[in-house]
Homo-oligomer: A and B are copies of this chain.
Amino acid sequence: MPPTKKADPFAQQQRLDSYEHPAAADAGLRRFLGYRLKRAYNTLRSGMLVRLEPLGLRITTFSALLLIVHNPGLRQSALASALDIKTSNMVAIVDDLEAKGWIKRKPEPTDRRALALIATTAGKSTCKKAEALAFENEETLLNNLSDAELNTLSALLEKIESSAEISHG
Protein backbone atom coordinates (compact mmCIF):
# COMPACT_ATOMS: atom_id res chain seq x y z
CA MET A 1 0.00 0.00 0.00
CA PRO A 2 2.25 2.81 -1.18
CA PRO A 3 0.97 6.00 0.43
CA THR A 4 -0.05 8.90 -1.75
CA LYS A 5 1.89 12.16 -1.54
CA LYS A 6 0.49 14.41 1.15
CA ALA A 7 1.53 16.97 3.72
CA ASP A 8 3.75 15.65 6.48
CA PRO A 9 2.05 16.27 9.83
CA PHE A 10 5.41 16.05 11.58
CA ALA A 11 7.34 18.41 9.35
CA GLN A 12 7.92 21.82 10.80
CA GLN A 13 7.65 25.01 8.84
CA GLN A 14 11.25 25.89 8.20
CA ARG A 15 12.76 27.11 4.97
CA LEU A 16 16.02 25.93 3.53
CA ASP A 17 17.47 29.43 3.48
CA SER A 18 16.82 29.82 7.20
CA TYR A 19 18.74 26.66 7.98
CA GLU A 20 22.15 27.23 9.53
CA HIS A 21 24.64 24.45 9.02
CA PRO A 22 26.34 23.66 12.35
CA ALA A 23 29.79 24.76 11.23
CA ALA A 24 30.29 21.54 9.23
CA ALA A 25 32.92 20.59 11.80
CA ASP A 26 32.31 16.96 10.89
CA ALA A 27 34.01 17.25 7.49
CA GLY A 28 36.77 14.91 8.69
CA LEU A 29 34.20 12.20 9.38
CA ARG A 30 32.27 12.58 6.14
CA ARG A 31 35.07 10.78 4.31
CA PHE A 32 33.77 7.62 5.99
CA LEU A 33 30.75 5.96 4.48
CA GLY A 34 29.91 4.43 7.86
CA TYR A 35 29.40 7.90 9.28
CA ARG A 36 27.16 8.92 6.41
CA LEU A 37 25.18 5.68 6.74
CA LYS A 38 24.63 6.29 10.43
CA ARG A 39 23.43 9.84 9.90
CA ALA A 40 21.13 8.89 7.04
CA TYR A 41 19.69 6.05 9.10
CA ASN A 42 19.16 8.35 12.07
CA THR A 43 16.97 10.69 10.05
CA LEU A 44 14.67 7.80 9.10
CA ARG A 45 14.87 6.38 12.62
CA SER A 46 13.77 9.65 14.26
CA GLY A 47 10.74 9.88 12.01
CA MET A 48 9.81 6.29 12.75
CA LEU A 49 10.05 6.74 16.52
CA VAL A 50 7.72 9.75 16.41
CA ARG A 51 5.21 8.03 14.15
CA LEU A 52 5.15 4.65 15.93
CA GLU A 53 4.98 6.05 19.44
CA PRO A 54 1.19 6.66 19.43
CA LEU A 55 0.68 2.99 18.49
CA GLY A 56 2.82 1.84 21.42
CA LEU A 57 5.48 0.44 19.10
CA ARG A 58 9.25 0.93 18.98
CA ILE A 59 11.31 0.14 15.90
CA THR A 60 12.35 -3.24 17.23
CA THR A 61 8.84 -4.24 18.31
CA PHE A 62 7.44 -3.05 14.98
CA SER A 63 10.04 -5.07 13.09
CA ALA A 64 9.25 -8.18 15.14
CA LEU A 65 5.49 -7.75 14.79
CA LEU A 66 5.76 -7.27 11.03
CA LEU A 67 7.82 -10.43 10.60
CA ILE A 68 5.40 -12.43 12.73
CA VAL A 69 2.41 -11.16 10.74
CA HIS A 70 4.18 -11.93 7.44
CA ASN A 71 5.49 -15.32 8.63
CA PRO A 72 2.81 -17.01 10.73
CA GLY A 73 4.20 -19.65 13.03
CA LEU A 74 7.70 -18.18 12.94
CA ARG A 75 9.79 -19.54 15.79
CA GLN A 76 11.19 -17.16 18.33
CA SER A 77 14.75 -18.22 17.53
CA ALA A 78 14.16 -17.76 13.79
CA LEU A 79 12.76 -14.29 14.43
CA ALA A 80 15.83 -13.39 16.47
CA SER A 81 18.09 -14.71 13.75
CA ALA A 82 16.27 -12.79 11.01
CA LEU A 83 16.57 -9.53 12.92
CA ASP A 84 20.13 -10.15 14.12
CA ILE A 85 18.98 -9.93 17.71
CA LYS A 86 20.17 -12.30 20.44
CA THR A 87 17.52 -14.76 21.58
CA SER A 88 17.99 -13.52 25.15
CA ASN A 89 17.08 -10.01 24.02
CA MET A 90 14.17 -11.25 21.96
CA VAL A 91 12.31 -12.47 25.04
CA ALA A 92 11.37 -8.98 26.26
CA ILE A 93 10.33 -7.92 22.75
CA VAL A 94 7.99 -10.89 22.34
CA ASP A 95 6.78 -10.40 25.93
CA ASP A 96 5.83 -6.83 25.05
CA LEU A 97 3.95 -7.83 21.91
CA GLU A 98 2.15 -10.60 23.78
CA ALA A 99 1.25 -8.35 26.73
CA LYS A 100 -0.38 -5.93 24.29
CA GLY A 101 -2.44 -8.75 22.83
CA TRP A 102 -0.89 -8.55 19.37
CA ILE A 103 0.70 -11.99 19.22
CA LYS A 104 0.48 -15.40 20.92
CA ARG A 105 3.20 -17.90 21.76
CA LYS A 106 1.96 -21.30 20.58
CA PRO A 107 3.90 -24.39 21.69
CA GLU A 108 5.15 -26.53 18.81
CA PRO A 109 3.74 -30.08 18.98
CA THR A 110 6.76 -31.51 17.17
CA ASP A 111 9.36 -29.85 19.41
CA ARG A 112 8.22 -29.01 22.89
CA ARG A 113 11.11 -26.61 23.43
CA ALA A 114 10.03 -24.33 20.59
CA LEU A 115 7.40 -21.62 20.40
CA ALA A 116 5.56 -20.65 17.22
CA LEU A 117 4.55 -17.01 17.07
CA ILE A 118 1.11 -16.10 15.76
CA ALA A 119 -0.36 -12.63 15.30
CA THR A 120 -3.83 -11.95 16.67
CA THR A 121 -6.47 -9.98 14.76
CA ALA A 122 -5.55 -6.92 16.81
CA GLY A 123 -1.89 -7.51 16.03
CA LYS A 124 -2.55 -7.68 12.31
CA SER A 125 -4.56 -4.48 12.48
CA THR A 126 -1.85 -2.64 14.41
CA CYS A 127 0.78 -3.91 12.03
CA LYS A 128 -1.17 -2.62 9.04
CA LYS A 129 -1.35 0.86 10.57
CA ALA A 130 2.33 0.79 11.48
CA GLU A 131 3.29 -0.27 7.97
CA ALA A 132 1.33 2.64 6.54
CA LEU A 133 3.17 5.00 8.89
CA ALA A 134 6.51 3.50 7.90
CA PHE A 135 5.71 4.05 4.22
CA GLU A 136 4.62 7.58 4.98
CA ASN A 137 7.85 8.19 6.88
CA GLU A 138 9.98 7.17 3.94
CA GLU A 139 7.74 8.91 1.46
CA THR A 140 8.29 12.12 3.41
CA LEU A 141 11.96 11.88 4.30
CA LEU A 142 13.05 10.48 0.93
CA ASN A 143 10.87 12.79 -1.13
CA ASN A 144 13.81 14.43 -2.87
CA LEU A 145 15.11 11.11 -4.20
CA SER A 146 13.73 9.75 -7.46
CA ASP A 147 12.49 6.18 -7.81
CA ALA A 148 15.61 5.38 -9.79
CA GLU A 149 17.81 6.78 -7.03
CA LEU A 150 15.93 4.78 -4.40
CA ASN A 151 16.39 1.59 -6.40
CA THR A 152 20.08 2.31 -6.83
CA LEU A 153 20.45 3.00 -3.14
CA SER A 154 18.65 -0.21 -2.17
CA ALA A 155 20.86 -2.26 -4.45
CA LEU A 156 24.07 -0.72 -3.14
CA LEU A 157 23.05 -1.26 0.49
CA GLU A 158 22.22 -4.87 -0.31
CA LYS A 159 25.68 -5.22 -1.83
CA ILE A 160 27.30 -4.05 1.40
CA GLU A 161 25.33 -6.62 3.37
CA SER A 162 26.16 -9.46 1.05
CA SER A 163 29.82 -8.51 1.19
CA ALA A 164 29.70 -8.82 4.96
CA GLU A 165 28.00 -12.21 4.75
CA ILE A 166 31.01 -13.52 2.91
CA SER A 167 33.46 -12.05 5.42
CA HIS A 168 31.82 -13.24 8.61
CA GLY A 169 29.03 -15.59 7.68
Range for the number of chain A residues in contact with chain B:
35 or more
Of A27, A34, A150, chain B has the most CB atoms within 10 Å of the CB of: A34
**Interface of chain A: mostly helix, strand, loop or mixed:** helix
Residue of B nearest to A50 (CB): B168
State the number of copies, please: 2
Contacts A12-B169, A78-B25 given; does A149 touch B138 at CB 8 Å: no
In the bound complex, residues from chain B placing their C-beta under 8 Å from that of A166 are 14-16, 19
Beyond known contacts A19-B169, A34-B138, A145-B159: 20 more, CB 8 A cutoff: A11-B168, A14-B166, A16-B166, A19-B165, A21-B165, A22-B82, A23-B81, A23-B82, A25-B67, A25-B74, A26-B67, A29-B66, A33-B153, A33-B157, A36-B158, A37-B157, A39-B84, A39-B157, A142-B163, A145-B160
